[in-house]
Structure 1
Amino acid sequence: MWHDLLVALALLLVIEGIWPFLNPNSMRSILLMIAQHDNRSMRISGLVSMVSGVILLYLVN
């Protein structure tokens, strides 16, 4: 189980690093736009992301 968790974390880091490596200016502007959102919309987007991940895990397994 720990091995699978570490593999998933490593893949997450690789995938998360692709966008800033390829286009750092775009990444910077998107992060500035995200920083201007209020807490409620950030929480909703986080919830949608988590639920989507759980559904994807359920479908894959």
Structure 2
Amino acid sequence: MNNTIWMALGLVLVLEGLGPMFFPRAWRRMIQTMTQLPDSTLRRYGGGLVVAGFVIYYMLRSRM
């Protein structure tokens, strides 16, 4: 795999870890709220994040 992809994955993991590290109560409440959402809503959010990730990747890839 390309080193850039591994660096991006590492950055995502760092950003994902900051929430529970610095704001554990708010993070726990957010997770608890998400468990109460219907599956269709979670799928829409997930799909939106995937599309946003591909768009960002494509934009950055085309500039390299």
Percent of matched pairs sharing the same residue = 28
Q: What is the RMSD computed on CA atoms of the aligned residues? A: 1.3
TM-score, normalising length: structure 1 = 0.86
Question: Which runs of no fewer than 5 residues in structure 2 stay unpaired?
Answer: none
Q: 1:38 Cα shift?
A: 0.7
Q: 1:2 Cα shift?
A: 4.6
1:17 aligned partner, one-letter code: G
TM-score, normalising length: structure 2 = 0.82
Question: Which runs of no fewer than 5 residues in structure 1 stay unpaired?
Answer: none
In structure 1, what is the equivalent of residue 46 of structure 2? 46
The alignment of Structure 1 onto Structure 2 pairs a total of residues equal to 61
Q: Which moved more, 1:22-31 or 1:11-20?
A: 11-20
Q: 1:11 Cα shift?
A: 1.6
* Regions of 4+ moved over 6 Å: none
